[in-house]
Structure 1
Amino acid sequence: MKKFAFARHRVLCFAGAFLLSLSCGPQDDLTPDLDETGEVSQAALAAPTLLEAVPGDGQVTLKWTAGPAGTQGYQVRFRVGSGSWVYRGAGTSTTYAVTGLTNGTKYEFHVRIKGSTGDTTSGYSNGLSATPIADECSGSSVRHITVTGAGSKDGLTAQTAGTLSNLNAFIQAVGPGGMVCIHGGTYGTGTTVSQGGALGAPVTIKGVEGRPIFQSTFQASTRAKTGPVAFTVKASNLVFHNLEFSHVGTCFSFKAATSVAHVTLSQFRAENVATCVDVERSSSTAFTDLTIRDAMILQFTRGGIFLASGTNQSLVEDVYVDMEPEQIGGQGSDYPVGIALYDTTNNVTLRRATVMNVTGMQTGYTQGDGIDGESTASDVVLEDSYFRGNEDGCVDTKVRNMLIRNTVAAECKRNFRLWQSVSPGPRVENVSSYQPRDGHFFMHSGTTTAKDIAVYSSNGAKLVAYDCSSSSPCTFNAQGIRGTLLDAAKLNATGTVTGNALVYGQSVTIPPVPNPTSFTP
């Protein structure tokens, strides 16, 4: 099955409240170097890709892709607005902290490979912008954590930082509205968070000085569904911000034995995991006001985000979920899901989600869905999202009263699987479907009325793939349809079709993959 790879050099980045914008302008801007006098020959080396520009107190930390073997070093340049460039030698590492900057001022940054000759020097990279900010990790309502701790380990300063084992004590110490700063480094797993803030005054657990990484030995290539857990969250009124996870079973686990409310998970990245955010399944526990924002989840076996039990009044927005099966042996577990809506999950908004390449194990009965929603869940809005290359359904839902709008689905077996097993069932408005392997839509029973839909296929896909019977007939109505099908026979709606603007036999171009996060795949 065709898998789609993200174009890694095209991205809009957002870090916290600070806009990081990619600029793909001229790569040959002049510098005062003697090898660039205004008549510069084409650079022999490809420019690196500038991946991150992370603001700090009076500084911005840059991260970029490595040059080829034999790279002699790197040079960073930066400026304010359209002012003069300032140049810094950045050594041989692929990270560099640009210091001595003014807080509150927006800077633009580029990097290049810098050698002793034109043949060992590249053009400049794409640009990223960032605004340094004053240190938030100071004051009586702040505590510090480092990998090994330091000094008295009271956490009052970075020089007397505690360790991760002090997290709950530090949450209690800073109180509602306080902050625990976890400094950059590599940490282990197995932390249970049992203390929180107060309603309207959460405690923030924030990664600083780069992004702390929580890491174990989990390998997604084994297709295991479980593994070491980084954080088990058993308290309410918390914000987790700017964290990274690698080779763990679960990033954030919410156990059914404890009801939790008002928790935000923001600006985090995960790679090689079983399930990154896992709300344990239960028929009795409620999880209220869970927000997941600005998250990138790659290389998972079971799922990206599982919302279950009574998850309610919750928001998932600006997330990028890609199994990247080619990186983990070509397959996940038996029923992997990008975003799951299970049990009595209700009143949830999913916005600006990109979910791709969810692929189940390649033996026995298997499937892989971008979204999988059960009929016990209800009242969900999915909008402004993008699904592509998932093995079975791009969006596979039985959810009661689910509205899907302004969403693109492409290259799944059935792009929109709309099970009408409950009433009112899921419905679509202003969605676009591209090149499914079987049908743009799927029905098993009941009636679907799709409004203002666009379908594009040149591969013989049907408008609707039916799995119906005389005892459970299906009716598919279309109110406004545009795009292209291979031929008129593929327009197989069993109900009425109005506002038909289809043409036939046209070529198809699929929209590029959006990345709504501040991270680069």
Structure 2
Amino acid sequence: MRSRAVRHGWPLLPTSRLLSQAIPGAIRYVAPGGQGSGDGSSWDDAAPLANINISIAQAGPAGVVALATHLGNYTQTSSITLNAAGIAGYPVVITGMDADGLLSPANIVGNRTPWSRPADESGRVDSSAFGGNALFIAGAGIGNLAFMNLRAERVGRIIDFSGVAAKGFLFEDIEGFNVRDGFYTNNLSAITDLTMRRVKGTGFSKKFVRFHGECRDWVIEDYSFDSAWQDKDNFAVGIECNNNARGLIVRRGSAGNAHSTLGTYFNGDGMSSERTNRDILVEDSIFFGCTDGGLDLKSEDTEIRRVTARDNKRNFRIWGGVKGGAGYTKPIRMVDCVSEDPHGRGGGSVHHLWLKGHDLVAQGGSVDVLGFTATGGDAGMAALEIEGQNGTMAFIDAPDIILPVGTVMHNSLEAGSVITGIPDEPMAPAQFTAPQWTLTPNNVSGQLVANILSRPGDGGSAITVLQYRLDGGAWVTMAGTGTGPRVLSGLTNDVEYAGQVRAGNAAGFGEPSDIKLATPVYVAPEIVRLAFDGSALNPGDTPVDTAVGAPAMVLRGTAAVVAGGIQFGGQNNYIEFPNREGFTFDGLFTIKIRVTKANWNRNGEDFIFTFWNTSGNQRAWMISTKPDNKLYARFCPNAGGSGNIVDTVANGSAPSPIPAGQRELMMDRDADGYIRMYVDGVMVGKTAAPVVGPNVNNGTNFARVSGSTTGNSDPGPSILHVLEIRKGEALCGSDAGYTP
């Protein structure tokens, strides 16, 4: 942190002294709508706000632009480009001022949707479409400006530094109310020597401060950034560091209530940094009430001093200190920090201090902790967690950690990860928290499914058993100790059961979880079909999807009818079956496809069948061949081809290499919950456990034979003979296979 000894931000001078430096007569006046001649020479002839750029140029270095605060609010619904400047040591001051020359805030109102701060987080609103104009846009030539005593309300951005390289800015006694972004930079910005002092933000949906691009040497002090639960503008952060920005001091302030409730994992941080950021100091600050991290820091050369984090999902979230990683100098350092009452909202585990192990590089993160105090938090959590391998959490002196009932000191550690400097006597595992497991029906008669989504902290001794009980009865040991669904059978339909789970280790069993209620039910599924049989086609025929109400299929590119089917091949030449809104795959299903391929065994992955979501152009189902000359079938949630619930076991009995020619592939899930893969009627793969729950790609969907925007298409020429999809039916569902 080479610059900290000399970088302290703008001088701590009274505003009156900056004003007293103004050259006599170099004061320009601005009023709402302008006054008199509008030349800015006096209050009577004040310029309009839209001409402030001219006023800055007229005031010149060490000059002052005074915005009248005694003549009402400024309405400014379009952006004002600023390209005038002072010179180093002699900034132009832009400040609110009343008729008597006393400083007071000038209120500027844009066109963002009106909003009032709710009393608490239960009143959070979807602000993703609030919009709003940028108030100021920094243009070429801008620099050495001091903004003081201003209030920006209902704007998209207070100032936009996109793509600008400039130096020398002071923002002092500034308030933003109901904004999308406060101080905006992007990956092309290079703003240096910037200080924010006594800046307040209330109600922001995206980021209040973006320290991005090649920005350098910023100081943010005596600040207050409260998102106030503006929600769903994915995702809110008080201070966000990104790209190659370096040299940031954040001190004496607070940031929090950043919520982002999109999806199952809620984002939203008080402050965050990325792996390419460097030289960051955070001290004497509070980060609170966020749906993810209070501090979420991936940067290197980073230190945290006398920081309190409270009521965030993970109060301190550390990714940096990656030995051998880019920019590594030493572990992240935390000194005299306090963690209070971490609280889970929207997926993910809850912790006082979380560290990322093996992630993008072989080594995990590391943090040195001195003088750490932690109290309270959700029952059942692990106070400390290292997620992944080769992470190091070192307590230089003994922390003071007071744990709630059912909570453990730390989670189970993966290979190479260590926590040093804390008592490590084994205790029983922590209590399961509500987000760590579910109890649901699976539309199979007499069954419920207990799905272990994540395990509680192990108490310092490996978890050796997982158990459940129903209606307070005897505990029943589940199969295995890992995550995943377990089918509870032999139950009575339409009777509500009260379920609990617990974990055990060598020290004993953890506290039983809170009760979850579920009722076995069976409702005959709606049968939704796609049915194409082209085995009798001849050139010139029209291929038809014979399912009831099916829209016409589409032949893309050079895909064309040939004898016995449709020929396709290559990235842009494929077959599409559109608008499959019914295919959510929330129970039994079958996918059957008969294809002729000249070569089933290539060096790259070929998508044979994919199921797509038009909203994100993402794969939700795949049957593919891979470079290991094997077939794969995937059940993928959230439309992401890489976010699989499970891959089928690859080709336990399929020929490898697969002979050229026509093959019939089928994938199904029967009432037992297992997904099976068949080649020419022989089962060649089966999931290791039942796969419970829907594929949730439930927007407007379409099936595609070959074709991929990522290039994993069948090169062809290949022929589709048959494609059949059934929701609500498993055509085989048996390890014994079937007769094609």
* TM-score (structure 1 length as normaliser): 0.65
1:22 corresponds to = none
1:287 aligns with 2:191: yes
Contact 1:226 1:275 in 2 (8 A): no
Q: 1:411 aligns with which of 311, 321, 345?
A: 311
Contact 2:331 2:368 in 1 (8 A): no
**CA-CA distance at 1:467 after TM superposition:** 1.8
Give secondary structure in 1 for the equivalent of 2:372: strand
Contact 2:235 2:260 in 1 (8 A): yes
* TM-score (structure 2 length as normaliser): 0.47
Give secondary structure in 1 for the equivalent of 2:53: helix
> What amino acid maps onto 1:224 in structure 2?
A
> What amino acid maps onto 2:173 in structure 1?
Q
2:58 corresponds to = 173
Distance 1:377 1:16 in 2: 30
1:492 aligns with 2:410: yes
1:320 aligns with 2:239: no
Contact 1:300 1:332 in 2 (8 A): no
> What amino acid maps onto 2:147 in structure 1?
F
1:260 corresponds to = 166
Q: 1:303 aligns with which of 207, 210, 213?
A: 207
Q: 1:465 aligns with which of 376, 385, 396?
A: 385
Distance 1:498 1:464 in 2: 11
Contact 1:335 1:368 in 2 (8 A): yes
**CA-CA distance at 1:313 after TM superposition:** 1.0
Q: What's the CA shift string for 1:133-179, capped at 9, x where partnerless?
A: 99999941101010122222221211111112332222222211100
Q: What's the CA shift string for 1:375-402, capped at 9, x where partnerless?
A: 1110000000001111000000101111
1:441 aligns with 2:353: yes
Q: What's the CA shift string for 1:422-455, capped at 9, x where partnerless?
A: 4245321110001113111111212322111111
2:154 corresponds to = 247
1:194 aligns with 2:86: no
Worse-matched range after superposition: 296-305 or 378-387:
296-305
Relative contact order, higher structure (CA 8 A, sep 6+): 1
1:157 corresponds to = 42
Q: Return closer, same or farther for 1:225/1:357 CA change in 2, 3 Å cut-off.
A: same
Residue segments in structure 1 that go unaligned for 5+ positions in a row: 1-14, 19-55, 57-103, 105-132, 501-521
Contact 1:337 1:370 in 2 (8 A): yes
Distance 1:135 1:312 in 2: 29
Q: What's the CA shift string for 1:15-45, capped at 9, x where partnerless?
A: 9949xxxxxxxxxxxxxxxxxxxxxxxxxxx
Give secondary structure in 2 for the equivalent of 1:334: coil
Q: 2:395 aligns with which of 461, 472, 478?
A: 478
1:140 corresponds to = 25
Q: Return closer, same or farther for 1:232/1:167 CA change in 2, 3 Å cut-off.
A: same
Distance 2:222 2:211 in 1: 16
Q: Return closer, same or farther for 1:138/1:263 CA change in 2, 3 Å cut-off.
A: closer
Distance 1:412 1:444 in 2: 17
1:38 corresponds to = none
Q: 1:222 aligns with which of 124, 127, 147?
A: 127
Give secondary structure in 2 for the equivalent of 1:361: coil
Residue segments in structure 2 that go unaligned for 5+ positions in a row: 1-11, 99-103, 116-125, 344-349, 358-363, 412-417, 425-740
Q: 2:289 aligns with which of 382, 389, 395?
A: 389
Q: What's the CA shift string for 1:99-151, capped at 9, x where partnerless?
A: xxxxx9xxxxxxxxxxxxxxxxxxxxxxxxxxxx9999994110101012222
Contact 1:147 1:163 in 2 (8 A): yes
Alignment size in residue pairs? 364
Contact 1:388 1:394 in 2 (8 A): yes
2:580 corresponds to = none
> What amino acid maps onto 1:215 in structure 2?
V
Q: Return closer, same or farther for 1:145/1:458 CA change in 2, 3 Å cut-off.
A: closer
Worse-matched range after superposition: 431-440 or 209-218:
209-218
**CA-CA distance at 1:474 after TM superposition:** 2.3
Contact 2:202 2:225 in 1 (8 A): yes
Contact 1:458 1:484 in 2 (8 A): no
1:101 corresponds to = none
Distance 2:291 2:258 in 1: 6
Give secondary structure in 1 for the equivalent of 2:419: coil
Distance 2:391 2:292 in 1: 20
Q: Return closer, same or farther for 1:259/1:134 CA change in 2, 3 Å cut-off.
A: closer
Q: What's the CA shift string for 1:50-104, capped at 9, x where partnerless?
A: xxxxxx9xxxxxxxxxxxxxxxxxxxxxxxxxxxxxxxxxxxxxxxxxxxxxxx9
> What amino acid maps onto 1:457 in structure 2?
G
Distance 1:396 1:206 in 2: 35
Distance 2:137 2:170 in 1: 14
Contact 2:21 2:62 in 1 (8 A): no
Identical amino acids, percent of aligned pairs: 24
Give secondary structure in 1 for the equivalent of 2:224: strand
1:375 corresponds to = 275
Distance 1:203 1:134 in 2: 9
Contact 1:385 1:408 in 2 (8 A): yes
**CA-CA distance at 1:418 after TM superposition:** 0.5
Contact 2:180 2:204 in 1 (8 A): yes
Q: Return closer, same or farther for 1:499/1:434 CA change in 2, 3 Å cut-off.
A: same
Give secondary structure in 2 for the equivalent of 1:160: coil
> What amino acid maps onto 1:170 in structure 2?
S
Distance 2:13 2:109 in 1: 23
1:203 corresponds to = 92
